[in-house]
Amino acid sequence: MTALAPAAVTRPAPSDSLRQRLHEVTVLTRRNLLHIRREPLQLSDVTIQPVLFSLLFVYVFGSGVALPGGGSYKDFALSGLLALNLTTAASGTAVGLATDINTGTIDRFRTLPMWRASMLVGRSFSDILTAVLCLLFVAGTGLAIGWRPDASAGGVVVGFALPLLFAYALTWVTACLGILSADPESSQGLGLVLLFPLAIVSNAMVPTQGMPDVLQAIADWNPVSAVVAASRDQFGNPNPSASLDSWPMQHPLAASLIWSLGIIAVFAPLAATLYTRRTRD
Query: Whole-angstrom Cα distance, residue 46 to residue 127?
Result: 10
Query: Whole-angstrom Cα distance, residue 261 to residue 165?
Result: 8
Which structural domain range is residue 57 located in? 25-278
Residue 174 lies inside a defined structural domain of this protein: yes
> Among residues 63, 92, 93, 94, which one has the least CA distance to residue 76?
63
Residue 14 lies inside a defined structural domain of this protein: no
Say yes or no to pLDDT of 1 above 50: no
Residue 125 lies inside a defined structural domain of this protein: yes
Query: Whole-angstrom Cα distance, residue 250 to residue 241?
Result: 8
Instruction: List, in sequence order, the alpha helices (H) in the chain.
Output: 14-38, 44-56, 73-89, 91-102, 105-110, 118-145, 153-180, 184-200, 213-220, 223-235, 247-250, 252-278
Query: Whole-angstrom Cα distance, residue 223 to residue 202?
Result: 8
Report pLDDT digits (tens) over 156-173. 999 999 999 999 999 999
Residue 9 lies inside a defined structural domain of this protein: no
Residue 5 lies inside a defined structural domain of this protein: no
Q: How high does pLDDT run on average in the chain?
A: 86
Residues 6+ apart with CB under 8 A from 5: none
**Best mean pLDDT range from 62-66, 82-86, 121-125, 276-280:** 82-86
Residue 80: pLDDT band with limits 50, 70, 90 = very high
Residue 12 lies inside a defined structural domain of this protein: no
Residue 273 lies inside a defined structural domain of this protein: yes
pTM exceeds 0.75 = yes
Domain total in the chain: 1
Residue 16: pLDDT band with limits 50, 70, 90 = low
Residues 6+ apart with CB under 8 A from 216: 208, 209
Say yes or no to pLDDT of 12 above 60: no
Q: Please give the DSSP secondary-structure letter assigned to residue 221.
A: T
Q: Please give the DSSP secondary-structure letter assigned to residue 61.
A: I
SS3 195: helix
Residue 77 lies inside a defined structural domain of this protein: yes
Residues, the chain = 281
